[in-house]
């Protein structure tokens, strides 16, 4: 039977990236964009991992199926780690990427060029009914530009500059982002975990 996994996200940018990355695992992926009636999980955790676990466990219990959730964000050193777990809503509940970028650029207007380091962080939680939830994570180092560059990706990608690429995350083609991003680095850790889980105890 083809393995089924729900990715507990409503974020279109993430959904696209997960569908592309999972196509190599021959696992059929659905996201919460396919389940409009899914519980809307309130992210009350104080860490990326806590929020990812909340999202994965709520949905895996609702549908009794293996669920992976991603909680991720942008952590800027000069802003004491902000926006962090509040990245999606940094400029307000409407989760507007453009407004989020504007707010970060305004807060960093006086930050010198040599103090604009940042990282993207992604925590994934894997919840399987009847088993212990597992988390993995990935990070991608970069720095924050003073203006947007590039139209690919989503969120803060246009202002996140990756030195050894000489480009922003939004200038990279999506295949390239899906090789080097914080999300890709976390997803890369899944095959060995899924192998063990499926090998040790086939999903019911
Ligand atoms: O430029 C970006 N490139 C990325 O690759 C990326 N990954 C995360 N983020 C930011 O962090 C928030 C996640 O917040 P988040 O994990 O709570 O997700 P979300 O609320 O958007 O959807 P959901 O997965 O919770 O349904 C997102 O909205 C973005 O602002 C990114 N920005
Ligand atoms: Mg969220």
pLDDT attached to residue 25: 78
- Which of 8, 11, 125 is the pocket-test mutation for ligand 1 (most atoms within 8 Å of CB)? 11
> What is the DSSP secondary-structure string of 143-168?
EE-SS---SSSSTTGGGEEEGGGTEE
Which region, left, alpha or beta, applies to residue 62 given φ > 0 means left and ψ of -120 to 50 means alpha?
alpha
pLDDT attached to residue 199: 58
Q: Which structural domain range is residue 11 located in? A: 4-203
Is 71 known to be catalytic? yes
Q: Which residue's C-alpha comes closest to atom 14 of ligand 1?
A: 88
> What global pTM score does this model have?
0.94
The CATH code of the domain that includes 47 is 3.90.950.10
CA 144 to ligand 2 center in whole angstroms: 22
CA 86 to ligand 1 center in whole angstroms: 9
pLDDT attached to residue 201: 46
* 14 belongs to an annotated ligand binding site: yes
What strand order describes the sheet that includes 134-144? 28-31, 4-7, 67-76, 117-127, 134-144, 160-162, 167-168
Mean pLDDT per segment of 10 residues, for the chain of length 204 residues? 85 94 83 93 96 97 95 98 98 97 98 98 96 96 98 98 97 97 96 75 45
pLDDT attached to residue 2: 63
pLDDT attached to residue 204: 42
ipTM of the complex: 0.96
Active-site annotation holder among 71, 77, 80, 97: 71
Domain total in the chain: 1
């Amino acid at each position: 039977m083809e393995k089924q996994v729900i990715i507990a996200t409503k974020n279109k940018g993430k959904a696209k990236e997960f569908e592309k990355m999972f196509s190599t695992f021959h696992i059929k992926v659905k996201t919460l964009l396919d389940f409009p009636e899914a519980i809307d999980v309130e992210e009350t955790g104080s860490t990326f991992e806590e929020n990812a676990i909340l999202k994965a466990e709520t949905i895996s219990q609702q549908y009794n199926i293996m669920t992976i959730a991603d909680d991720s964000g942008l952590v800027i050193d000069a802003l004491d780690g902000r926006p962090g777990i509040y990245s999606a809503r940094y400029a307000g509940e409407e989760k507007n990427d453009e407004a989020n970028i504007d707010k970060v650029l305004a807060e960093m207007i006086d930050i010198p060029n040599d103090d604009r380091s940042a990282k993207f962080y992604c925590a994934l939680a894997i919840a399987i009914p009847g088993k212990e939830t597992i988390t993995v994570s990935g990070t991608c180092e970069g720095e924050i530009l003073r203006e947007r560059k590039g139209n690919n990706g989503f969120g803060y990608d246009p202002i996140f500059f990756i030195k050894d690429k000489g480009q922003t995350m939004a200038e990279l083609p999506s295949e390239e982002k899906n090789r080097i991003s914080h999300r890709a680095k976390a997803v890369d850790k899944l095959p060995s975990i899924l192998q063990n889980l499926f090998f040790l105890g086939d999903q019911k």
